Structure 1
């Protein structure tokens, strides 16, 4: 086990940084909701406001299994760091958005890196803790989601009322930088003998091509009937791609 070569303080440091990264990604699923009215008032695009949330969910859900496999092949630390750095950069872009289209695109990019974080943080537990301790630590990590669902809407409303909706995204920047520094110092890098030839590119492509239309179909049922051509077409495409997977 990797923990045999790590001090207790370093394990605690790596765990704290990893949980902080997970908290950032989880919060962004809930913190934006209470800022939506201000965002619409500032950027307009009322007809597309649902995509501010949907874009993040679609890309993060699609990226999670892909990033998990890549982390298994090439090591968790590089992907965790890349996920956090990309997430911070995308958060900055979200805060700088000048119209609804830009915000939706940047939220999609943010979701990609959020998916990397979701996939990587839980697998890091296996690198840091022996089998008898993993269940307890996984419970702690799972509690982060519960915390984010409680804190997110309240924090989003407070930040929007006292500063600006842009700070809902930009607050991730200093916190993310701290998380990067902590993980960089505490988390060990485990080298892997895997190569790019070990990646199932076809599987990744068909999985993404199946999950994306499925999630989009489910999200547009608020405005379209289940029997509408748009929903039926997306569900058919999702079924075909997932069958190919």
Structure 2
């Protein structure tokens, strides 16, 4: 609000806390009828109808404008306080056909939405998120069980729509070999090992025989 030189940025009380420190105007332009304002660090919550009143004009004038803040999701880590850091992902358990994956997001504010997705971007079923809070910061752990599919690449995605922030990490799951395959390869290894052992034994006997013949020949000489 501006009235006779006083406004919210130079001591006038009553400004909505949501806009404190983010709104400014053009003082030198007021004499030309330019009452435009700038809203910095806009979020989706800033969307809505805004009204500009000129109460001292006769007749009083009022102008309305609708503000739409489009959501552009990108990684804003380090740009905005509270933006979720890159998730930590890992494998808790793995077998021949499935794996239990873990995703951790720490110190985020506001509370982010955390999801597991496959390589095509499809959201995967997951357990109920484990959420803890310290002050305004949230720590979230999300578990999901994935099965052997055509794709082994999975993503953990953390989204804070209020600030247009998204961050992710990925993990490549290598399932355990099936028991039958392991036994088969082990058997081949044994056969190959025995074959090489047989060759080595044959060579050893051959060398020994030559040595004996040579030795006997030497004695006869």
TM over 0.5: no
More helix by share: 1
More strand by share: 2
Q: Which has the higher contact order (CA 8 A, sep 6+)?
A: 1
TM-score (norm 1): 0.20
TM-score (norm 2): 0.21
